[in-house]
Copies of this chain bind each other. A is one copy, B any other.
Amino acid sequence: MSTKQTIYYTFTDEAPALATASLLPIFGAFAKEADIELKLTDISLASRVIAAFSDLLPADKQVEDGLKFLGDLTAQPEANIVKLPNISASLPQLYATIKELNAEGYGLPEYPENPQTDEEKDIQARYSKVLGSAVNPVLRQGNSDRRAPAAVKGFARKNPHSMGKWSKTSISHVDYMREGDFYSSEQSTTMETAQTVKIEFVAKDGSVEVKKSLPLLAGEIIDSMNISTKKLREFFEATMQEAKEDNIMWSVHLKATMMKVSHPIVFGHAVTVFYKDVFEKYGELFKEIGVNPNNGLGSVYDKIQSLPEAKQEEIKQAIQDVYKTRPELAMVDSDKGITNLHVPSDVIVDASMPAMIRNSGKMWGRDGKAHDAKAVIPDSTYARIYQETINFCKTNGAFNPVTMGTVPNVGLMAQKAEEYGSHDKTYEMKADGVMRVVDANGNILMQHNVEKGDIWRACQTKDAAIKDWVKLGVTRARQSDTPAVFWLEDARPHDNELRKKVETYLKDHDTSGLDIRIMSYNEAIRFSMERIIRGLDTISVTGNILRDYLTDLFPILELGTSAKMLSIVPMLNGGGMYETGAGGSAPKHVQQLMEENYLRWDSLGEFLAVAVSFEELGIKHNNEKAKILAKCLDKATGKLLDTNKSPSRKVGEIDNRGSHFYLALYWSQELAAQTEDADLAAKFAPLAKQLADNEDKIVAELAAVQGKPSGLSGYYHMDLNEVAKIMRPSATFNSALATL
């Protein structure tokens, strides 16, 4: 396949797909002038479903498997993919898709929930590849490069979001375990040769149970660690008593979503310690009726509904009595009485801590007001950076979005690096004994004494991913001429293994003139914060968890949201994927378009991603015109933000299409005005003039269609011609664009 000078733009689902119908023609028309082609690749849910059965369909119904195509493309150094948000299909969405397609005559089989025959099993297998998070694992073949684009940063500086003041007498703080946690118990080693190691549990009686066989590559780092449930529960109890004494709200901050296995268990302990009176009294009953504390106190309220009313009331009263002996709990929703301990996924550390820091260090109390709080983050590995940040804010006051610098991130993510607490290597111990990792020759690589209830987990990080991550760190430092800090904790065995590699691989690169440092987490965040308040930027080059945490923390402080970050996955093999936003595919926006022909989807993410996509092509192919297109697109985006031409929310105002028009106007004006390439300037000057002259007319044409049903027929399987008609209603704009 020829990927030269080609950008593969994904056609996905719902609002982003609709927006593409309006936006891609603009991108395409402008790109042509730099000899770049934008190819649309359909990875919509409907297309993926059809592709899964293409071999069984008549020729006119067959489609190319767009996802497979892009997946193969990621292996090519030339890959340049702009990835829009897509549907991670649930079963109901799959059913609806099948129904819609069959109404069009596809004749697809129904999804067999309980497949019996081989045929049914084959059908289910084909559908399974389409369900759930099916796209990202195929396309994210690299590490992570996230940053606030200049236009977004500039906009935030000019239009600063609200930021709560910090008092020097704030009593908010982070509390974390000092022993018995993952941080204190971590062990790590680097494999010299490729081999399959075994994770084993040795019981008290000496019997050995192989929990898992794990094939490892040469140079791969493997870690293991354990959290003592006894110490964890003692710690929770101590923090609650301390909070009660100090008259401060109590809260726990975990990541039960990402650390899918370990953190829900930790959350469950928080629940049973806080409500220990209730769980001691009703423990047996709760077991019978299926209460799972890992699902939060909500699980208690849910499950007791099967009990007689009087018993329910008794238990509810017992819960109320607990509040008299415990510190006040931070609330998720004080109106509805939903506390921090209600649902494990309500309070997610990477979002909740930045929110607290942005809100003067306060969380919401039962009275609906903001109060200082003790933020309990049991494992100390990453908890300490939040305490450092809080101390910093107490000392220096709140960050100022107008003047603060930025902290972009280069995150280790490729080849499933550092997936701590993910499900496949995390175990809740069922008995006392020893957990160990044994190599192919029977040597014990690592081992921990464990007790029943402890959580033991292992984690892998591949050498190739690390090598690429170091390269990406250096590249970003060079390209943005910004100091880069590798966040590697002196006291962490895993990080020390990593550090050896980092120090080795740094030598492979020309780092002359660059400021590249290695610092422990607290040092690194402090260094970054000391710089940020002086308006200076610092790249954080971090592992996977800190990638996740920091790309929320700093964006939320700098921009008020992490949704406006540029998210790039430079592929291990040299290509690049440019993600256009962390948001979903926005079904409600489609509904609004259907009902009143108004699309409020904001294509900011697409503008930003495409600019980087152009820039990358420009660098790779020495295509100077592409670089200028990129530069001018960024300027146009900045102007669009400044002039408030982003989509509004209501009929009669500017929507997604109007916003695209202004992008085209500003972009062409920037291209006409630039002096680096006279040819380009000459090409775009007439368009700029035409668009500017017809601004009122075009805006009127775009507004004219609003307020009545759009007539969109397909939902999952959109008719591109129909959509194009709906999304490009301004003849004046269309013909102007066609002059290019």
Contact = CB atoms under 8 A, between A and B. Distances in A.
A175 B167 CA distance: 12
B173 A242 contact: no
Contacts of A175: 168
A122 interface: no
Contacts of A169: 171, 173, 246, 248, 372, 374
Interface string A167-181: 111110101000000
A184 to B, nearest CB: 13
Nearest to A395: B387
Interface string A375-400: 00000000000010001001100000
A170 B394 CA distance: 12
A534 to B, nearest CB: 9
A368 B242 CA distance: 25
Nearest to A534: B491
Nearest to A530: B522
A705 to B, nearest CB: 55
Nearest to A248: B169
Interface in A233-252: 242, 246, 248
A286 to B, nearest CB: 33
A394 B175 CA distance: 11
Say whether chain A's binding surface is mostly helix, strand, loop, or mixed.
mixed
A395 B526 CA distance: 15
Nearest to A372: B169
Given A168-B374, A374-B168, A173 B246 contact: no
B173 A394 contact: yes
B242 A168 contact: yes
Interface in A148-180: 167-171, 173, 175
Contacts of A170: 171
Contacts of A372: 169
Interface in A627-686: none
Nearest to A173: B168
A171 B391 CA distance: 11
Most B-side CB within 10 Å, residue of A372, A394, A526: A394
Nearest to A170: B171
Contacts of A394: 173, 391
Interface in A209-253: 242, 246, 248
Contacts of A167: 246
Contacts of A395: 173, 387, 391
A192 B387 CA distance: 47
A249 to B, nearest CB: 11
A43 B524 CA distance: 54
A581 B387 CA distance: 40
Contact of A171 (B171, B242, B374, B526): B171
Nearest to A384: B395
A372 B387 CA distance: 20
Contacts of A391: 391, 394-395
Interface string A97-130: 0000000000000000000000000000000000
A242 B394 CA distance: 14
A372 to B, nearest CB: 8
A246 B171 CA distance: 11
A526 B175 CA distance: 19
A171 B175 CA distance: 16
Interface string A582-600: 0000000000000000000
Contacts of A246: 167-169
Most B-side CB within 10 Å, residue of A169, A248, A374, A526: A169
A181 to B, nearest CB: 16
Most B-side CB within 10 Å, residue of A173, A248, A372: A173
A169 B361 CA distance: 13
A394 B248 CA distance: 15
Contacts of A168: 171, 173, 175, 242, 246, 374
A391 B246 CA distance: 17
Contacts of A387: 395
A169 B170 CA distance: 8
Nearest to A247: B169
Contacts of A173: 168-169, 394-395
A17 B168 CA distance: 51
Most B-side CB within 10 Å, residue of A168, A170, A374, A526: A168
A38 to B, nearest CB: 48
A189 B612 CA distance: 46
Nearest to A246: B169
Interface in A356-374: 372, 374
A173 B171 CA distance: 11
Nearest to A490: B530
A394 to B, nearest CB: 7
A526 B387 CA distance: 14
A306 B5 CA distance: 94
A259 to B, nearest CB: 24
A374 B395 CA distance: 12
A248 B372 CA distance: 16
A71 B8 CA distance: 85
Interface in A500-550: 526
22 contacts: A167-B246, A168-B171, A168-B173, A168-B175, A168-B242, A168-B246, A168-B374, A169-B171, A169-B173, A169-B246, A169-B248, A169-B372, A169-B374, A170-B171, A171-B171, A173-B394, A173-B395, A387-B395, A391-B391, A391-B394, A391-B395, A526-B526
Question: 9 smallest A-B Cβ distances: which pairs?
Answer: A169-B171, A391-B391, A169-B246, A168-B173, A387-B395, A169-B248, A171-B171, A167-B246, A391-B395
Given A168-B242, A169-B171, A169-B246, 14 more contacts: A167-B246, A168-B171, A168-B173, A168-B246, A168-B374, A169-B248, A169-B372, A169-B374, A171-B171, A173-B394, A173-B395, A387-B395, A391-B391, A526-B526
